[in-house]
């Protein structure tokens, strides 16, 4: 059994790639909004929500494994200590971004006389951010510079209930995970197939909230953690690590990430088969989450994995993936604001190269500064609650 794993190799790299996919998605959306040459029409640049779903599966996997291990090693789960670890890791940067996005950015834009219509009044939405419900801001007011924070709210709600649930159901954890998956799947099936919801109605908001709370993705990660925790140590017999299985799963993931919309739009037999797998409400999400779980386990535990991602430079970038995810929207907007005229005067390829060089360089640079000068100061307090 794998009950003493302290580190899962390769997962920091996957974190970085997921954060960068979100950056690409928002980059092309904003370039299109401001009339710049953009690649928004291509599936590869529309993976923001897909990447966030990966984060949810990864969070469910890692958190569940750590809690399983704590339950065995210490004879129980300390909910208080778990909450404190999440507070010092998540809250400082989250609330810094809330302050910057709600108050500092509007003040700065007014100072330079740049007309950017905010979709809300700051004090109007502040309670949603304080209660970790930024997804409600997106639902009620539309897109904004703080749009990426929606997933942090979802994760915080997940963390709030996950440790107590695992502590209470510590003898039936697998049943707990499966029950969450089934309940969420049943609710979404009702809304997509059996209940006619009027747009902008109260029920439409309820449907969106239930859809956004991706607890089924986290529970699938939890199932993976449970199976890994209690699995045979002899990984040679794990069928999911076979070369054929790896090829099939990697091809499916590549198609989903790189050619999703193109395949759905294609009038071919292959496109029809693909659509059955990846274009069905509810079911297709579950398929994607299971593929993400396979990727996580394969990269971190398969000595013969085709993907060798345990590299020092990738681990370093993975360590600042939270910052990359949080800062990128503001930085993309700032770069477009400063360079728009220059980018419009350039041909597509040079403008795209310059744009991504600036976006990636500034976002990663600020994320490193934030990590080591700001976030790590709070992480030093992690040991205050045992």
Share of the chain above pLDDT 90, in %: 85
Of 292 and 115, more confident: 292
pLDDT score of 342: 95
User: Measuring CA to CA, which residue among 95, 228, 90, 76 is closest to residue 158?
Assistant: 90
Q: Mean pLDDT throughout 86-102?
A: 97
CA–CA gap between residue 64 and residue 58 (Å, rounded) = 10
Summarised one tens digit per residue, pLDDT across range 320-362 is 999 999 999 999 999 999 999 999 999 999 999 999 999 999 9
Per the CB < 8 A criterion, the answer to whether 77 and 170 are in contact is yes
200 pLDDT tier (thresholds 50, 70, 90) = confident
**How many structural domains is the chain composed of?**
1
Q: Does residue 366 lie in a domain region?
A: yes
Domain assignment present for residue 300? The answer is yes
Residue 1 lies in a domain: no
Q: Tell me what pLDDT residue 238 has.
A: 81
| Whole-number pLDDT of residue 214 | 97
Task: Note whether 346 and 357 are within 8 A (CB).
Answer: no
pTM: 0.95
- DSSP code string of 163-209: HHHHHHTTTSHHHHHHHHHHHHHHHHHIIIII--PPTTSHHHHHHHH
Q: What's the rounded mean pLDDT across residues 34-50?
A: 97
pLDDT reported for residue 219: 98
pLDDT digits (tens, 9 = 90+) for 313-322: 999 999 999 9
Res 199: pLDDT: 87
Tokens representing 353?
Answer: 């190269």
In a domain, 343, yes or no: yes
Predicted confidence (pLDDT) at residue 84 exceeds the cutoff of 90: yes
In a domain, 315, yes or no: yes
Confidence (pLDDT) at 93: 98
Lowest mean pLDDT among 2-16, 167-181, 276-290: 2-16
Q: In what helix (H) or strand (E) does residue 127 lie, and over which residues does it extend?
A: helix 122-130
In this predicted structure, what is the pLDDT of residue 237? Answer: 65
> In the structure encoding, which two tokens stand for residue 90, read together?
């998540």
**Does 2 map to a domain?**
no
Q: Which domain holds residue 122?
A: 11-384
Q: Is residue 249 part of a domain?
A: yes
Contact 324, 363 (CB under 8 A): yes
Assigned domain for 3 exists? no
What's the pLDDT band for 6 if we cut at 50, 70, 90? confident
């Amino acid at each position: 059994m794998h009950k003493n794993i302290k580190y899962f190799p390769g997962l920091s790299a996957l974190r970085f790639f997921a954060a960068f996919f979100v950056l690409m998605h928002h980059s092309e959306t904003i370039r299109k909004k401001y009339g710049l040459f953009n690649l928004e029409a291509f599936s590869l640049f529309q993976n923001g929500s897909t990447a966030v779903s990966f984060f949810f599966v990864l969070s469910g996997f890692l958190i569940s494994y750590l809690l399983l291990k704590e339950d065995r090693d210490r004879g129980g789960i300390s909910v208080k200590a778990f909450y404190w670890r999440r507070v010092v890791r998540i809250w400082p940067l989250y609330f810094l971004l809330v302050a910057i996005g709600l108050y500092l950015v509007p003040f700065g834009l007014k100072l330079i006389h740049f007309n950017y219509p905010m979709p809300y009044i700051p004090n109007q939405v502040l309670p949603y951010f304080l209660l970790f419900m930024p997804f409600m801001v997106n639902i009620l007011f539309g897109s904004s510079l703080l749009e990426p924070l929606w997933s942090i709210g979802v994760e915080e709600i997940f963390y709030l209930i996950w440790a107590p649930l695992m502590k209470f159901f510590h003898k039936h954890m697998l049943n707990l995970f499966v029950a969450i998956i089934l309940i969420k799947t049943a609710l979404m099936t009702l809304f997509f197939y059996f209940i006619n919801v009027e747009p902008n109605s109260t029920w439409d908001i309820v449907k969106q909230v239930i859809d956004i709370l991706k607890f089924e993705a986290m529970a699938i990660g939890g199932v993976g953690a449970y199976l890994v925790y209690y699995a045979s140590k002899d990984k040679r017999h794990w069928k999911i690590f076979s070369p054929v299985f790896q090829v099939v799963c990697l091809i499916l993931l590549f198609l989903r990430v790189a050619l999703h919309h193109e395949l759905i739009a294609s009038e071919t037999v292959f496109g029809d088969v693909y659509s059955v797998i990846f274009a069905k409400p509810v079911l297709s999400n579950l398929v994607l989450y299971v593929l993400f779980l396979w990727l996580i386990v394969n990269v971190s535990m398969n000595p013969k994995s085709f993907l060798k991602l345990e590299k020092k430079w990738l681990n370093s970038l993975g360590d600042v993936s939270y910052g990359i995810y949080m800062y990128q929207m503001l930085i993309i907007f700032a770069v477009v604001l400063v360079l728009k005229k220059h980018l419009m005067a350039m041909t597509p390829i040079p403008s795209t190269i310059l744009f991504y060089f600036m976006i990636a360089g500034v976002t990663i640079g600020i994320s490193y500064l934030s990590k080591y000068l700001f976030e790590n100061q709070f992480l030093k307090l992690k040991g205050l609650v045992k």
